[in-house]
Amino acid sequence: MTKTTRTAVITAHGQPSDPGPAEAALARLAAEVAAHLPDWDIRSATLATPGRLEHEMADDTVVYPFFMSHGWFTAKVLPDRLQGRSYCMAAPFGLDAALPALAAEAVRQAAERQGWPLAETHLLLAAHGSARGPKAAEAAECFAARLRPLLPGCAVSPGYVEQAPRVESAATALPAYSICLPFFAQAGDHVKQDIPQALEAAGFQGLLLPVTGALPGIPALIAAGIRAAALDQTAAR
């Protein structure tokens, strides 16, 4: 008996001003996720590439939102673009219950490599935020709250690109033993330009980590999220 291959599409915002690099990066991530799901067809599509999402969809697809919150894109844009199609949507990447522990481990290892006692280290969570709604900031605040008990003694504070407190003001006067974790899925312009510029303007002397979506263990986490969404869909039938 031939086993039916399920399809999953990992989708992200992408970079509208230059879709290619973000699209290629998401495709590389999809290939890494596929290594954990050998019986699946793992595809990828950013919303910034016209028509790509619709082209990659198949019947009964699991859509994995590579987003940090359940905001405008997951609640409105994705359902509108997928109207009339057969799919189920996994929980957004940033809301995965396993993500805080994974991020906390990355912070602990970074502090150890620097020789910094965790109890004397400050973590700045650099997030997107939004002037249009509370969901993005709520997700970052919730993530920070879940990180604190996993990083005993380490102060954790958020800073935002698009709302107060801005990254620059949040980074001002931080101690030398400081780590900045960009709370983003992909390394777009905010991560490559806006956050480093804000940290430089603040005189930040600490360590800037890779974007959350590129931390070790992320492909396995996404694979588990896809698998869980498929099981939930099966149980609901």
Q: Report the C-alpha gap between 29 and 94 in whole angstroms.
A: 16
- Do 120 and 41 sit in the same domain of this protein? no
pLDDT at position 101, please? 98
Q: Report the C-alpha gap between 101 and 198 in whole angstroms.
A: 27
Residue owning tokens 């879709």: 19
The three state secondary structure string of 73-101 is HHHHHHHHHCCCCCEEECCCHHHCCCHHH
pLDDT at position 132, please? 79
pLDDT at position 5, please? 85
Domain contains 208: yes
pLDDT at position 4, please? 61
Residue owning tokens 């879940």: 146
Domain contains 1: no
- Do 208 and 143 sit in the same domain of this protein? yes
CATH number assigned to the domain comprising residue 111: 3.40.50.1400
- Do 160 and 149 sit in the same domain of this protein? yes
How many domains does the structure of the chain reveal? Answer: 2
Q: Report the C-alpha gap between 36 and 220 in whole angstroms.
A: 6
- Do 152 and 75 sit in the same domain of this protein? no
- Do 69 and 105 sit in the same domain of this protein? no
Under 8 Å between Cβ of 171 and 125: no
- Do 145 and 220 sit in the same domain of this protein? no
What angle do the packed helices 218-236 and 19-34 form, to 10 degrees?
70
Under 8 Å between Cβ of 227 and 37: yes
pLDDT in tens, the chain (237 residues): 446 689 999 999 998 989 999 999 999 999 999 999 999 999 999 999 999 999 999 999 999 999 999 888 999 999 999 999 999 999 999 999 999 999 999 999 999 999 999 999 999 999 999 877 788 899 999 999 999 999 999 999 999 999 999 999 999 989 999 999 999 999 988 999 999 999 999 999 999 999 999 999 999 999 999 999 999 877 765
- Do 28 and 50 sit in the same domain of this protein? yes
CB proximity list for 92: less than 8 A, separation 6 or greater: 65, 66, 67, 68, 69, 70, 74
- Do 56 and 146 sit in the same domain of this protein? no
Domain carrying residue 88: 6-92+216-236
